[in-house]
Amino acid sequence: MAFNQKVTVAGDATYKISNQIKKYTLGDLGFVTNNAGVYILHRALEPEKSLANSIQLKISVNQDLTGFKLSTVSAGDVVRVDIFKNNHADDMVRLYHFFIDELLARGVLEKVTYD
Query: pTM higher than 0.85, yes or no?
Result: yes
Q: Tell me: the pLDDT tens digits for 63-85? A: 999 999 999 988 877 788 888 88
Q: Tell me: the pLDDT tens digits for 26-37? A: 999 999 999 999
Q: Tell me: the pLDDT tens digits for 6-19? A: 999 888 899 999 99
Confidence (pLDDT) at 100: 95
DSSP string, the chain: ---BSEEEPTTS-EEEE-TT--HHHHHHHT-EE-TTS-EEEEEES-TTS-GGGS-EEEEEE-TTSS-EEEEEE-GGG-SB--GGGSTTHHHHHHHHHHHHHHHHHTTSEEE----
